[in-house]
Amino acid sequence: MSEKLNKILELASERRGSAAVVTIRGSVSISDAERLAEKLETFAAEKVPIVVLDLGEMDFICSAGLGAIISCHVKSRHHHGVIKLVAPRPAVRELFETTRLTKLFEFHDSVEDALAV
């Protein structure tokens, strides 16, 4: 279990039409949150209309990681962009609920669902 929570953060992204899909794997710890912020910042700066974050293989995220997602959300709103979150694991989903960030973001079961809506 502790091994899982200490997995190195892996980020992968691809463009799907006008949208960007970012797959986040492993653990978004305090030492990695800046890397996530930089990645998301590029999509906000490019005014990508839909940024889908696939959280299905993300084991953990700290508040700085949540902050990176929020910053992207706030910047994207300037160009009417939206961040969509996909398939967070139960413990991560609970984190979004505890912080009430479920109020800010759309959640979807799959990347395809997120892109279809």
Partner 1 sequence: MSETIRISSKLGQARQVEKLLLDEAEKFGYGEAAIFAIKLALEEALNNAIKHGNGFDSGKTVEVAFDIDARQAVVTITDQGRGFNPKSVPDPTADENLEKPCGRGIMLMKAYMDRVEYNKQGNQVRLVKRNG
Please list, in sequence order, all residues whose beta carbon lies within 8 angstroms of the beta carbon of residue 17, skipping any fewer than 6 positions away: 115
For position 12 contacting partner 1 by CB under 8 A, the verdict is no
Please list, in sequence order, all residues whose beta carbon lies within 8 angstroms of the beta carbon of residue 73, skipping any fewer than 6 positions away: 83, 104, 105
CB of 2 or CB of 18, closer to partner 1: 2
For position 108 contacting partner 1 by CB under 8 A, the verdict is no
For position 18 contacting partner 1 by CB under 8 A, the verdict is no
For position 104 contacting partner 1 by CB under 8 A, the verdict is yes
Residues in 62-91 that interact with partner 1 by CB under 8 A: 62-64, 66-68, 70-71, 73-74, 91
Please list, in sequence order, all residues whose beta carbon lies within 8 angstroms of the beta carbon of residue 53, skipping any fewer than 6 positions away: 22, 24, 69, 83, 84, 85, 86
For position 95 contacting partner 1 by CB under 8 A, the verdict is yes
For position 2 contacting partner 1 by CB under 8 A, the verdict is yes
Classify 6 as helix, strand or coil.
coil
Q: Are strands 19-28 and 50-54 parallel, antiparallel or unpaired?
A: parallel
Q: For binding to partner 1 (CB under 8 A), which residues are involved?
A: 1-2, 5-6, 29-31, 60, 62-64, 66-68, 70-71, 73-74, 91, 95, 98-101, 103-104
